[in-house]
Chains A and B, each alone.
Chain A
Amino acid sequence: MRRLAIPLAVLLLAAGCGGNSGTPTPTPAAPGQPDKVAAGVIAIVDVAPIYLGKQKGFFSGRNIDLDLQTSQGGAAIVPGVVSGQFQFGFSNVTSLILAKSRGLPIRMVSNGVASTGKDGADFGGVLVKADSPIRSAKDLAGRTVAVNTLKNIGDTTVRASVRKAGGDPASVKFVELAFPDQPAALAAGRVDAIWVVEPFVTAAKAQGARLVASNYVDAAPDLTVAAYFTSQELIAKNPDLVKRFKEAMAESLAYAAAHPDEVRAIIGTYTQIAADVTTKITLPAWPAEINKASVQTLTDLAVQDKLLEKAPALDELLP
């Protein structure tokens, strides 16, 4: 029986989906009723503006009944958006470039989050132990660096840091570790350096770790790290909803950028980050527009580091 289980399951999966490849569109709202919209996000600092915008009524004021659903990462949110389970999603730019290069019908609609652009004061960075011989990104050559996801925005931008500092980026050995496990692995000497984002930068520093590189800053000036996106099908079928979502996001981003205290307060409502930590972390930047030059840079890095063979047409990905 066990012998049959695998092919049988595979067949059922394949058969179950044969006919149903179309995207279910959100039920058209009855007159006077708000559109029900589900958005796939990751429970991290980066998405504070959309939570804040929902709380402030920027979405409901535009007839959008927003339901925020947390997922593990872009690899889970992209299928959700393509299949119509989510109308909008949040993902880092490199994942969106990869998805687009494989032919997935998606398009960015709004900026998500950006680097602060300040070397040494960004919301992500490469850290080493206090007594490590590594003094700069150049010294990372030949060392083991932990990243949360291989072949993505972390390792490509860390390589950019090493390259910029004059080291050999190809000799850096990357290993995949979840952000929460990284500070402990660094303290135990399992890895030579870690690449983390807030709140883990603050956590690692509290354990005595030292920042050696701001990889987002080294990769491109004011790098756009992540964006909100939707399916091309929704853009074609309901351009009005997409337009209202864009406007609500623009207002949310501007509000978050102007009200850091409210941002710090709302982070505690959807993450497990303790209140005393949220007051200390470095917040990212939330500019209104996607920095198109930086998306081009991330594309070039992805091609250079062989994450993909051929760059996608960026004018079909950018909003």
Chain B
Amino acid sequence: MKALKVIALPAVLFAGWWVLSAGSKDFYRPPLRTILVAFADTWFGARIADDVLPSLARLGAGYAVALVLGIAAGVVIGRHPAVRETVEPVLEFLRAVPPPVLVPILILVAGIGDLMKVLVIVSGCVWPILLNTVEGVRAVDGVLADTCAVYRVPPVRRMVLRAASPQIVTGARQALSIGVILMVISEMFAARSGLGFTVVQFQRGFQIPEMWSGVLLLGLIGVALAALFRLVERSVLRWYHGQRAAEKQH
């Protein structure tokens, strides 16, 4: 029943798209049937290794760096009010700079290879993780902290990260969708491979069904990543969801 609910609306939308576009003669909006044929021809083959995997690898690398950086800096800033007051204006400034405008600067310092593209992803993904970590760490319950200190529980690893993890996960979830967007954008500059690169190439080469199939694939990848994230979240935050359920019963 639940599965049916999940599938129902996408199925309706898909069917609607199919029917409405069936007779389309518009060059830029081909029938869904044409797009699906192009999808099979375009993506089942060498392109998975040539374009899809490099994109996902860059996304994975950038996301991982942003996680480590964001959580580490977030714990430090969250635990030390003096540090927070000092760095806050700078962070606010850096956060406000849209990553795409950094690309020409990143090209100068990091070249035109994968490093530049990973840095673009990091520069956008790190902020929601960092800021949520800071908030999570600041909100650690004082009594809990004192109790842990008395029992000599390692403060950062066992207590702070645990207590802040619901917030950190929230930040990580926001960062993931930003990461997918920046993966595409980073490949629009100085690229030789990747999903964003390929979609733009199709557009410029007037291969419109192929272009649409790339957009479709990006959407599917987004859905798959979100599902994967939910799985990870469920195991990381098992204690939290359990606690919430227990609280509700009271």
Contact = CB atoms under 8 A, between A and B. Distances in A.
A307 B29 contact: no
A104 B14 contact: no
A181 B204 contact: no
Nearest to A83: B28
Contact of A6 (B16, B197, B204, B222): B222
Contacts of B189: 176-178
Contact of B21 (A3, A14, A104, A191): A14
Contacts, number: 110
B246 to A, nearest CB: 28
Main secondary structure of the interface of B (DSSP, over half): helix
B190 to A, nearest CB: 5
Interface string B146-164: 0000000000000000000
B206 A104 contact: yes
A95 B206 CA distance: 9
Interface string B11-55: 001101100110011111100100000000000000000000000
B206 A190 contact: no
Contact of A190 (B9, B32, B111, B222): B111
B10 interface: yes
Nearest to B192: A175
Nearest to B209: A102
A308 B201 CA distance: 12
Interface string A169-196: 0000111111001001100101100000
Nearest to B222: A6
Contacts of A99: 206
A176 B222 CA distance: 26
Contact of A176 (B9, B29, B191, B203): B191
Contacts of A163: none
A181 B107 contact: yes
Size class of the A contact interface (CB-based, 8 Å): 35 or more
Given A11-B17, A21-B25, A175-B112, A190 B204 contact: no
B20 A18 contact: yes
Contacts of A74: 204
Contact of A2 (B20, B27, B177, B207): B177
B98 interface: no
A18 B104 contact: no
B205 A104 contact: no
Nearest to B14: A7
A10 interface: yes
A99 to B, nearest CB: 5
25 contacts: A2-B226, A3-B10, A3-B223, A4-B13, A7-B13, A7-B17, A8-B13, A11-B13, A11-B17, A14-B20, A14-B21, A17-B24, A18-B24, A21-B25, A21-B26, A83-B28, A103-B27, A175-B112, A175-B190, A176-B190, A178-B189, A188-B108, A190-B107, A307-B205, A308-B205
